[in-house]
Each structure stands twice: as structure tokens, then as C-alpha cells.
Chains A and B, each alone.
Chain A
């Protein structure tokens, strides 16, 4: 199995995406940004992995031809993980050993936003949200034993944020998003889980 470091992958993605974003921005009122994202688990996500996530990223594009609104697309990921040992119980049994839990959520969303001011050169607060597909992968490892579960669902992602301009046609996004997906399938227990979380993303891009 090939393992690539997150930092290296992020740098490669940035090198690929930012120049292409600039080309696109020459002809249209686009804003394209790469964002670093941290997340706080909620609900079932917190029950499964209580620790916050420092590993996440978003690439989004916004068509900003209207003064107060934009539509766009977003793809990103947030991953949660936990290492542990000792004994834990589950319905119908118990297990002892080193364990590793991992959850990654990959939303692919159509987005929209409303900006409270019209001047694109000023910092602009906005409210918006996205809707679309979300890919969920859960992994549980106990000793030698791996189990994974992957599925696709639907997610609603309301957000609030700040869009701002920077220098030479660049800009940034600060966004707080609440991820509300549909239930994921049964995994290691009876009953579905709904993996909710809040993400905070900050990114720079071209506009």
C-alpha cells in the first residue's frame, strides 16, 4: 500500500490548482480557492470519534456575476481519527487491544451564497450553503482485524463566512459550515449513524 503524506498531497494540489484558477479568472467573475479545514465532531460523529479534526481541505469555485449572490461548487474532505487501547464494550461483547478508528467525509456540493454588501473589493460577510453528495468511509481496526464501510449519501451544508479580496486578483474565504448528512449504513453496531460536524475553513485563491 502506498501512503502519501497529507502535507505533500496538499502542496501538490495547491501547485496544480492555483495556476489553473488564475487562467480561469481572466475571463469570468470566478472565485476559486483552496481552503484548509478543521472540524469539530457532533452527534454520532462525536460518539464514534470524539476528537476534533485538524486534517481537512476544500476546493471551491464560485461564480460571482451578480453583486449580492453567487453560485458554485465545492469538493472537500474532513477526516477524524482516534487511536486507543484497553478494553471497550459493545452490544453483545467486549474487545481488548490496540484500536484505530478513522472516518473521512468527502462532500461534493453545489453551493450558493448571499453577500450582505455588493462591493467585491471590500470584505463581505455572507450566508449560504450547499447541497449534494457525500462520500463516507469508516475504518475500524482492532489488532490485526480491519473493517471498513463506505457509502454515499446526501448532505445539506449551511454556512456563514467572510469573503475578502487580497492583492493582484487574489482573495480569501473564511467559512463556518455545518455538515448535516443523511444516515450512513450500519457498521459495528445495529442502527445507522448520522455523521454531523462543524468545519471551519480558511483559504486563499484567485478571483
Chain B
């Protein structure tokens, strides 16, 4: 009996000790991160032109008023546009006459997103003249096995393939995505802008000759 008690107490004591480690976040800068995902297959390697709709979508499905205002949307889009142009991409402005290789969609997430695909994007975005037929009803999918979570306050930049949507599965290939996480608040935009720059820095495969 004593032996059994020893075993139980010993196990409890050691497991409790194992649970103690110094993992506290101690500075605000520790909260920020930039994550990029890429599907480096042929469609991305062949893409040279992009379209950038002039809207930043604020995803907040619970119906409450957006906590993060649209005041910085223009600066966000300008930084994204500058990043692609600096890497050698050409912007297609008149999407009614010329189809771009990819479309860059930008969103501010005010709710957590988890998964490898996002089903509500096209419907939420609504009409945009550059969509190929059927695309607004599609979901976008990421082919890798990595599941990701984007938290509230994340600026999400996605690059969708405008040439290779799958009519059978109704999926639009997601070629590249950047999540600037934890830097977008109602009062600060600089962290998001710096994060956009960092997203391009850590994506050298986007450079075009």
C-alpha cells in the first residue's frame, strides 16, 4: 500500500514539475509574426501579372461593427502593389479587357480562421469584373498539408490563380498567402505595413526577371 502511494505521489509530483516552464510572453513585439505559404508549382512560376481589387475586406461574420477601421486600407493596398511591382510583376488595371494571371485579395480578419481552405471567400467578396465564369462561387484551397490558424487582427493577403480553377471541385488554387498576425489594431497601422514588406522579403520566389 505504501509502495502504491509512493508511486502515485511521485508521479504526480514529477508531472506537475514537468508542466512548469517559463513560456510567458514578456514583450509586445513577441506577439507579432508574419507567415507566408506558397504552392511553388508551375502556375505560380508562370504568373507574371496581377490584379489588385481596391477593396480590403473586413471579415466579421458575427455582424458586429468592425473594430478595425477602413482608414488604412489605401495604405495597405499601396504597400502590397509596391511590393509586387518591385519584384517585377505587372499590374493589370483594366480587368474587363485583360485577364491577369493572379488576383490579390486582401482581408482583415476580425475572427479566427482555421483550416487549409476557405469556403466563403468568393461569396463574401461579391462581384468583381475580373472573375472568370463561376469563380465567385468557388472556395480557395491550399494544396499543402499544413493547417494554419489566423487570429483576430490578422491582415491576410492571398494570391488566387485566375487560370486554373477546378470546375469539378469548385476550388480556386491558392498560390501564395501572407498572414501578418497580431499587428493590426484599431490604433496602429505601421506594424501591418512593415509586415507586408517582410512578407515579400521572405518570399524570394515571387521575384520575376
State the A residues within 8 Å of B (CB). 3-6, 9-10, 12-13, 16-17, 20-21, 23-24, 30, 32, 55, 57-59, 61, 73, 75-77, 79, 81, 87, 89-100, 102, 104, 106, 108, 139, 141-145, 147, 188, 190
Which residue from chain A places its CB closest to the CB of B35 in the assembled complex? Answer: A95
Q: Is B31 an interface residue (CB 8 A)?
A: yes
The 8 closest A-B pairs by CB, nearest first: A97-B33, A143-B33, A13-B13, A77-B18, A59-B10, A9-B17, A98-B30, A92-B144
Q: Which of B21-29, B56-64, B72-80 contacts A (4 or more CB under 8 A)?
A: B21-29
Which of A3, A77, A87, A143 is B17 in contact with, Cβ under 8 Å? A77
Asked whether A145 lies within 8 Å of B151 as measured between CB atoms, the reply is: yes
Do A79 and B32 form a contact, CB below 8 Å, given A17-B6, A59-B10, A143-B181?
no
Interface residues of B in 19-75 (CB under 8 A from A): 19-24, 29-40
Q: List 7 A-B contacts (CB under 8 A).
A: A17-B13, A58-B14, A75-B15, A92-B38, A99-B33, A142-B35, A145-B181
Asked whether B145 lies within 8 Å of A13 as measured between CB atoms, the reply is: no
Taken together as a complex, chains A and B put the C-alpha atoms of A144 and B202 apart, in Å, by 19
Asked whether B146 lies within 8 Å of A92 as measured between CB atoms, the reply is: yes
Taken together as a complex, chains A and B put the C-alpha atoms of A91 and B142 apart, in Å, by 13
Least Cβ distance of A97 to chain B in Å? Answer: 3
Least Cβ distance of A202 to chain B in Å? Answer: 16
Known: A96-B198, A188-B146. 16 other contacts (CB 8 A): A6-B20, A9-B20, A10-B17, A16-B13, A17-B10, A24-B2, A24-B6, A61-B6, A93-B35, A93-B37, A95-B34, A96-B35, A99-B33, A104-B18, A142-B33, A144-B151
Least Cβ distance of A185 to chain B in Å? Answer: 13
Taken together as a complex, chains A and B put the C-alpha atoms of A95 and B202 apart, in Å, by 8
Asked whether A17 lies within 8 Å of B9 as measured between CB atoms, the reply is: yes
Q: Is B186 an interface residue (CB 8 A)?
A: no
Taken together as a complex, chains A and B put the C-alpha atoms of A158 and B44 apart, in Å, by 50
State the B residues within 8 Å of A (CB). 2-3, 5-7, 9-11, 13-24, 29-40, 144-146, 149, 151, 181-182, 198, 201-203
Which residue from chain B places its CB closest to the CB of A14 in the assembled complex? Answer: B13
Do A20 and B32 form a contact, CB below 8 Å, given A3-B24, A100-B23?
no
Taken together as a complex, chains A and B put the C-alpha atoms of A56 and B21 apart, in Å, by 11
Which of A55, A95, A144 is B182 in contact with, Cβ under 8 Å? A144
Asked whether A59 lies within 8 Å of B21 as measured between CB atoms, the reply is: no
Q: Which residues of A contact B15 (CB under 8 A)?
A: 75, 77, 106
**For A59, A92, A108, which residue has the most chain B Cβ atoms within 10 angstroms?**
A92
Asked whether B202 lies within 8 Å of A94 as measured between CB atoms, the reply is: yes
